[in-house]
Amino acid sequence: MKTDFMADYEPDPHDRTYYRRARDDQLGWMIRRDGVDYIKLDRPSKETLEPYRPNNWIEDREHRTLTDIQRAQIAFAADVKLCSLLGEHDLARREWIMMSDAERRDWIEEGPSDRKERVDLWMAIMEKMTGHSR
């Protein structure tokens, strides 16, 4: 990180160097506050900083693809929006977290089956992001 002369620095998303915590694989990126290097954990809701200690953090050089569950969540979110536009308001109010494990597993493996538009959307997302097809 080339910020020795700056007391505070946080890179733009495309300039971040990501690190994984060695003990539990948590992901974050390097920032500087008050002249001290920290790892800012990749969290959606609140800022969490950990002091940067080289022995505790490993630069994440490996590009990791999304998991099947993450891909399915993206397809599900797109399906919710599509259902809203198609006038399927009950389906548009669904939430991933409110589904049972069996329903989520079925969504991951099969997607929707009732309308061609929904099936096509699920297949397009799953195939493009994974090469998976049904």
Domains of the chain, residue spans: 13-59, 68-130
- Note the pLDDT of residue 56: 92
Give the global pTM.
Answer: 0.56
pLDDT of res. 3: 44
Rounded to 5 degrees, what are φ and ψ at 27?
Answer: -105, 140
Q: Which residues of the chain have pLDDT under 50?
A: 1, 3, 132-134
Task: Tell me the percentage of the chain whose pLDDT exceeds 90.
Answer: 59
Q: What is the mean pLDDT of the chain?
A: 87
CA gap 31, 54 in Å, rounded: 14
Reduce the DSSP state of residue 99 to 3 states and report it: coil
Q: What is the pLDDT of residue 64?
A: 65
DSSP assignment of 3-61: -TT-SSB---GGG--EEEETTT--EEEEEEETTEEEEEE--SSS--EEE--TTTEEE--
The predicted pLDDT at position 4 comes to 52
pLDDT value at residue 92: 95
Q: What is the pLDDT of residue 132?
A: 45
